[in-house]
Chain A
Amino acid sequence: MIAFENVGKTYPDGTTAVEDFSLEIASHEAVVLVGTSGSGKTTLLRMINRMVDPSRGRVAIDGEDVAGLDPVRLRRSIGYVMQASGLLPHRSVLDNVTTVPVLRGTSRREARSRALELLETVGLDPALARRYPSQLSGGQQQRVGVARALAADPNILLMDEPFGAVDPIVRADLQQEMLRIQKELHKTIVFVTHDIDEAFLLGDRVVLLRPGGVVAQQGTPQEILAAPADDFVRSFVGADRGTRTLHVEEIEGRRIVVDADGRAAGVLEPPAGGAARA
């Protein structure tokens, strides 16, 4: 379990990135922090692995204040996919993925064979293992970043806009990969994005942030969609633009769900044993 207890961060230059933020994240839960640029998402994420020390309050993992933990050991035990892949340019893909296990004392050979498996897990051709990061596309680099974060089999996975830099098709692909991985591995995931659709897709729970790390609303995607707390949330989730309102039209005897632009979103199936509630 990860607990933010009234944390705040004011950077040395006087910028207050986070005012007063509290949140509990259960083990094996995937929580997504969503917010506009500069709302403090990266700052909050990096408090978990002590890349940022809070100015106020504390972050605890399983009840233990991270401020009391050795940062190096803490970081090796947490997978971290960075906003811009953050691969080491002078190391091959394989060596990038084995970095943490090797630091933790796994034999190089063992780390390598596991790394090759991981490359497949994230949908990369193992033939790319010997390439350098600069020889990969942005999407491939992000996949390597995910493989690297998984390499030491951490319980906690921090993901900072891991799919921000790739085109929508690759992103959708990576998101599916992510869902599959989560189904299999059940990590505790803290995921940052400014894409609300991505948040709703990947999050068991979604936390919507305003600038200053102020929580606008948190809850399951269903809860947020059903009852947006205020206009900020409503505009963020697109409710007021009507992009999320669907209605049903009868076409040739079938009930088709149509979105605000009149595009067909799907076919409405009656619930098993009952009539469809339109």
Chain B
Amino acid sequence: MTQLLEALAWIADPTRWSGPGSIPVRLLEHLWYTLLGVGIAALVAIPVGLLVGHTRRGRGPVVALSGAARALPTLGLVTLFGLWLGIGLTAPVLAFVILAIPSLLAGAYSACEAVDPRTVDAARAQGMTEWQILTRVEVPLGLPLLIGGVRLAAVQVVATVMLASYIGNGGLGRFIFLGLNLSDYPQMLGGSILVVALALVIDLALRLVERLTAPRGAART
């Protein structure tokens, strides 16, 4: 309990809220790394996931690949890529991309698969092109699931981004690793609390987006 209070006191200390290396700076760095990881992963995984979901082809290999990617230990990846690519942002971001891809893929293909095949059939029968079916029917109807994938990926990455600091980058992990080295437990715990809080906020925000994007009219069926 006292440790928790000390950690909260560490966070509340006004000197930690301005200047270089302050909490806001680390928080923004943390968010930025998360955005990079999830953003790059989304550029790859969402189109592939939608393609798989729309065509119902290649689901097997994609699921297998996602499973394999899920099984990779992210710390190991960061270390490995760090050794290979050196200190800097490339190695950890690459690891985060790999971490984020499975959830994004699953969100994207399940978004398509969740749409009633009869609805897709009707859209096709009206003369929509495959692209129009995807963008005007499947994506709007499956959007909450797609966003759900983004939410899972973001929460996983935000919790893991502290590993970036492990090989010399910024982010909230700095506090954790610094605290660990200095045996400064309030700082370590404070950093962890901030990471957890950030993850919760992101989770909540994206849950809200999921709600807002739920297609109107489909709710009552």
- On A, residues with C-beta under 8 Å from B are 46, 49, 51, 72-77, 80, 82, 84, 86-92, 99-100, 103, 132-135, 148
**Contact residues of B between 87 and 142, Cβ < 8 Å to A:** 116, 118-119, 121-129, 132, 137, 140-141
Are A134 and B218 in contact (CB-based, < 8 A)?
Answer: yes
A89-B119 contact, Cβ under 8 Å, with A134-B221, A135-B217: yes
Distance between Cα atoms of A100 and B122 in the complex (Å): 12
Are B125 and A80 in contact (CB-based, < 8 A)?
Answer: yes
Q: Sorted from nearest, which 5 A-B pairs have the closest CB atoms?
A: A132-B217, A86-B122, A76-B127, A75-B127, A90-B215
A90-B218 contact, Cβ under 8 Å, with A72-B129, A84-B118: yes
A88-B122 contact, Cβ under 8 Å, with A103-B132, A132-B217, A134-B221: yes
Q: Does B57 contact A (CB under 8 A)?
A: no
A86-B127 contact, Cβ under 8 Å, with A133-B217, A134-B217, A135-B217: no
Q: Of all chain B residues, which has the CB nearest A85?
A: B122
A89-B217 contact, Cβ under 8 Å, with A84-B118, A103-B132: yes
Distance between Cα atoms of A138 and B219 in the complex (Å): 17
Chain B residues with Cβ under 8 A from A72's Cβ? 127-129
Residue of B122, B127, B140 most packed against chain A (CB within 10 A): B127
Distance between Cα atoms of A148 and B216 in the complex (Å): 20
**Residue from the list A46, A77, A80, A89 in contact with B218, Cβ < 8 A:** A89
Are A100 and B217 in contact (CB-based, < 8 A)?
Answer: no
How many residues of chain B are within 8 Å of chain A by beta carbon? 23
Distance between Cα atoms of A132 and B219 in the complex (Å): 10
Q: Of all chain B residues, which has the CB nearest A79?
A: B126
Distance between Cα atoms of A90 and B125 in the complex (Å): 17
A75-B124 contact, Cβ under 8 Å, with A89-B221, A90-B141: yes
Chain B residues with Cβ under 8 A from A84's Cβ? 118
**Contact residues of B between 160 and 205, Cβ < 8 Å to A:** none
Chain B residues with Cβ under 8 A from A134's Cβ? 217-221
- On B, residues with C-beta under 8 Å from A are 116, 118-119, 121-129, 132, 137, 140-141, 215-221
Distance between Cα atoms of A89 and B137 in the complex (Å): 9
Are A88 and B119 in contact (CB-based, < 8 A)?
Answer: yes
Chain B residues with Cβ under 8 A from A99's Cβ? 126, 128
Distance between Cα atoms of A72 and B118 in the complex (Å): 18
The smallest C-beta distance from A132 to any residue of chain B, in angstroms, reads 3
The smallest C-beta distance from A158 to any residue of chain B, in angstroms, reads 9
Q: Of all chain A residues, which has the CB nearest B141?
A: A90
Distance between Cα atoms of A72 and B122 in the complex (Å): 13
Are B122 and A82 in contact (CB-based, < 8 A)?
Answer: yes
Distance between Cα atoms of A80 and B219 in the complex (Å): 26
Are B127 and A100 in contact (CB-based, < 8 A)?
Answer: yes
Chain B residues with Cβ under 8 A from A51's Cβ? 121, 124-125
Chain B residues with Cβ under 8 A from A49's Cβ? 125
Residue of A77, A87, A88, A148 most packed against chain B (CB within 10 A): A88
Chain B residues with Cβ under 8 A from A100's Cβ? 126-127
A91-B118 contact, Cβ under 8 Å, with A72-B127, A72-B129: no
Are B125 and A88 in contact (CB-based, < 8 A)?
Answer: no
Q: Of all chain B residues, which has the CB nearest A89?
A: B218
Q: Of all chain B residues, which has the CB nearest A149?
A: B126
Q: Of all chain B residues, which has the CB nearest A99?
A: B126
Distance between Cα atoms of A277 and B115 in the complex (Å): 61
Distance between Cα atoms of A85 and B216 in the complex (Å): 18
Chain A residues with Cβ under 8 A from B221's Cβ? 89, 134
A73-B217 contact, Cβ under 8 Å, with A86-B118, A86-B119, A103-B132: no
Q: A72-B128, A80-B125 are in contact. List 4 more A-B contacts (CB 8 A).
A: A73-B127, A90-B141, A90-B218, A91-B217
Distance between Cα atoms of A84 and B137 in the complex (Å): 18
Chain A residues with Cβ under 8 A from B125's Cβ? 46, 49, 51, 75, 80, 82, 86
Q: Of all chain B residues, which has the CB nearest A90?
A: B215
Distance between Cα atoms of A91 and B141 in the complex (Å): 10
Are A76 and B126 in contact (CB-based, < 8 A)?
Answer: yes
Q: Of all chain A residues, which has the CB nearest B140?
A: A90
The smallest C-beta distance from A101 to any residue of chain B, in angstroms, reads 11
Are B217 and A80 in contact (CB-based, < 8 A)?
Answer: no
Are A90 and B122 in contact (CB-based, < 8 A)?
Answer: no
Distance between Cα atoms of A91 and B116 in the complex (Å): 15
20 sampled A-B residue pairs with Cβ under 8 A: A49-B125, A51-B124, A51-B125, A72-B128, A74-B127, A75-B124, A75-B126, A80-B126, A82-B122, A82-B125, A87-B122, A89-B215, A90-B141, A90-B215, A90-B216, A90-B217, A103-B126, A133-B217, A134-B218, A134-B221
